[in-house]
Structures are given as C-alpha cells and as structure tokens.
Amino acid sequence: MTCERIGALTGSSLEEFRAWAQSVPLSITVRSSYAPERLEAWFRRGLHLGKAQLSQHPDPPARVVALADRLLPGWHSALLCGADTTIKPHRDASGFGQIAVLINLGESKFTYWPKQNVTTEPVHVHMRDGEVFRLNVKTLHAAEPLTSGRMSFTLRTITREVLAQEQPSLEEQLGLVSARQDIALSCGVPVSCVPENHASMDEHELTIAIESRLEIYSRLTSSVLYRLVEK
C-alpha cells in the first residue's frame, strides 16, 4: 500500500501542531524543479537530493518530537513544507528509507502510480486537515494543495549507508587514512610524512613529498628533543 491513512490529529493537538508549523520560518533549501514554489524547514537531518549529502538541523520542540516518535519510531529526518507545496511526480531520494509518515495541514490531493509510470493509471487520495498517512516514497508520487496555506510535515528514515557519513572510520578518527598508514609503514616513516593527496601523485612526486616532510619532521622532533634535554 503506497498511501495509507493511519490516523488524524484533532482538537487541541491539531491546533497546537498547526500553530507550531505556522510559526516556523520556511526557506528554499534546495531549489528543486519538482517543487519550484515550495518552502521548507528540515529538522534533525536534511538530505540533499542528488548529492546524498546529509545536513544537521535542530530538533523540533519536544512535543513535536514525542508525536514524531509515536508516528515513525526511529525517524531520522523531518521536513516541514509550506507556501505552494505542489510537487511533480517523483520518488524520494534514494538515501531515504521506503516508509515515510506525513501529517497533512489543510487539504491536498496526493497521487501515486502503482505501476511506477505516469502513463499508467494513477490513484488519487484526498488528504484532509490533520490526517496522517503512511507513504511508500519509492512509488512514483505527486502532491497538489487544494487549500491555500496547506502544509505538510514528513518524517523519514535515512539508510544506514548514508547515515554512515556521520561516523568517521576509526582510521579517520585517529588521523590515519589506511592507505597513508600502509605507505608510511612500507617506507618506514611517520604517517604525518605521507601527504594526504598521495593518491594523485606518481612515485617520483611521492618520494620527493615524503622526503621533504621527513626533513621538516626530523627538524621538529630534534628541536623538541633538544628543548627536553636542555631542561
């Protein structure tokens, strides 16, 4: 099921959520030709389409986090959209997980193509104020606001591969990129004497670069030793 209604915010929870959403300053984060007039705000993490580049953002207020945790436990990213939220047929960026949860404010028409092609039969879903939907964002889909001021708030997960960008490898944490470490070991020099851009150098350039770094390194270490001995 690509678009399934899983509940609705009503009464004061809906009004509080709306008041918060309307208070958030929106801007153009990525000018996408799919949603040319849409304004956005990311929370927790953003994922820039195409580049699969993660960005870090503050969390929404605690009440919104609690709501998000209930609707999509383990969510990694939230996106609030306003102005003209029209978005042409698309699939969400590959770095996002398959399932997203959307809170709809105002009314909109959500369209999806189960056969993954705009020339095939679409399915339309009328989203009403406060309704919450579980979406499969890997199915071709589009959205169109039916009321002015319509907003959407979407919770998503991010794939493990993309999240791994946030975790530097142990070598990176130690300042040792493994290729540099290997070269350093084979030449018998400290890792700091192997240039970071070694991959773009030929053997001759690399030898010269290592030798000149080694010279600086030995001057530095001997001056440190000298100072230690002097004391």
Ligand X SMILES: O=C(O)CCC(=O)C(=O)O
Residue ranges binding ligand X (CB under 6 A): 81, 85, 87, 92, 102, 108, 110, 141, 143, 152, 154
**Residue 77 β-bridge partners:** 156
Question: Considering only CA atoms, which of 88, 106, 105 is closest in space to residue 147?
Answer: 106
- Return d(Cα 192, Cα 212) in angstroms, integer: 12
Nearer to ligand X, 102 or 183 (CB): 102
157 contact choice in Fe ion, ligand X, none (CB below 5 to 8 Å, kind-dependent): none
| Least Å from the CB of residue 143 to ligand X | 3
Q: What tokens were used for 230?
A: 């002097």
CB-based contact 46:105 (threshold 8 Å): no
**Residue 103 β-bridge partners:** 132, 153
Q: Is 40 in the site for Fe ion (CB under 5 A)?
A: no
* Of residues 74-133, those binding Fe ion (CB under 5 A): 92
Nearer to ligand X, 141 or 180 (CB): 141
| Least Å from the CB of residue 135 to Fe ion | 7
CA distances from 81 to 65, 78, 149, 180 (A): 17, 10, 10, 45
| Least Å from the CB of residue 216 to Fe ion | 53
Instruction: Point out which residues bind Fe ion (CB under 5 A).
Output: 92
